[in-house]
Amino acid sequence: MRLPISQPLDLAATLESGQAFRWRRQGEWHYGVVGENLVALKQGLSHLEVRSSPSSPEHMETPLRNYLRLDDDLEAIYSRIGTDPVMRRAIASYRGLRLLRQDPWECLVSFICSANSNIPRISATVQALAQGYGQPLSLGDYVDYTFPTPERLAEAGEAALRALKLGFRAKYVAQVAERVARGEVRLEPLRSLPYQEAREALTSLPGVGDKVADCVLLFSLDKLEAFPVDRWVRRAVEESYLDGAKLSYKALRAWALERWGTDAGYAQQYLFHAMRLQGREKGEVV
């Protein structure tokens, strides 16, 4: 199936920019799991070629438009955030990079696993969880797995998760899985709460600090004002905008919100992607 695209989209930049961790590129195709379906995407000039299983590609059109946030008006966002040379260069380099609207549960676990780690290691950890406790899916010769439910990970427990090399993160994943499985915390309703309330609900969970909460809010719960700050974003802001001044996480977020408002999350992702790829070119661990 061909999915028409009328807005800017750089599929590779979107799927490989550190928002999600289980997309794999094979040649011109990107393979990943969206909901309960294994999908393969290939970018054309004004469309995406889509393969999927078990649902047909036609049934995946709405879920994919939702996942890729094709409802976001990127041109309007560019006009609002592209007000300085640094941001204009990032937009020009990665035009069509979009935020994702992921499943909140997988996103939460993924970023709990991101603590003191890097993208290749996070990807391996999250894939190990899926392979160990998810359900298999196949598309031609390609095999992947659904992400395990909270109930499944709660049942597995901390010791089993440590065996998957989660390290100290195993405790947090097991505890959060138990709380979500018992219904003590419901993730999907956080989408309709104001940013601060949703953030407080997430940071009440074990292993969820400011950065992890902001990642989940931005990449899965429609809080586009969220501004996750890691070493790449901090370096980009301090070097490019603050003349090297050092600010706390809270102060950096307040600065970004004042500068970019509810588009701060998009600004963050362009800064992150640009700075991280510069680090890769310099041979830094990314």
Q: 111 and 214: one domain?
A: yes
Cβ proximity of 269 and 94 under 8 Å? no
The active-site residue, picked from 42, 165, 171, 211, is 211
The domain in which residue 57 lies consists of: 2-93
Residues 26, 129, single domain; the answer is no
- Name the H helices within 164-230: 169-181, 195-203, 210-220
Is residue 282 part of the annotated active site? The answer reads: no
108 and 213 fall within a common domain: yes
Cα(45)–Cα(127) distance, integer angstroms:
31
CB burial of residue 248 (10 Å; 0-12, 13-18, 19+): exposed
Of the CA atoms within 13 Å of residue 68, those in its CB half-sphere come to 31
- Cα separation, 286 vs 283, in Å, equals 9
Alpha-carbon distance of 13 to 151, in angstroms, equals 33
Q: Read off the pTM.
A: 0.95
Note the pLDDT of residue 279: 62
For residues 59 and 113, state if they share a domain.
no
Mean pLDDT per 10-residue interval, the chain, length 286 residues: 95 96 97 97 96 97 98 97 96 97 98 90 95 97 98 97 94 98 96 97 96 98 97 94 94 97 98 84 48
DSSP letter for 149, please. P
Phi then psi dihedrals of residue 170, to 5 deg: -60, -40
Q: pLDDT tens digits, residue range 82-134?
A: 999 999 999 999 999 999 999 999 999 999 999 888 899 999 999 999 999 99
With tokens 């969820």, the residue in question is 208
What local confidence, expressed as pLDDT, does residue 117 receive? 83
Domain co-membership, 89 together with 110 = no
Say yes or no: 207 and 250 in one domain: no
CATH number assigned to the domain comprising residue 249: 1.10.1670.10
Question: Would 259 be classed as within a structural domain?
Answer: yes
**What CATH number did the domain enclosing 18 receive?**
3.30.310.260
Picking from 93, 121, 150, the residue at the C-terminal end of a domain is 93
| Number of domains the chain contains | 3
Q: For residues 238 and 138, state if they share a domain.
A: no
Indicate whether 99 belongs to any domain: no
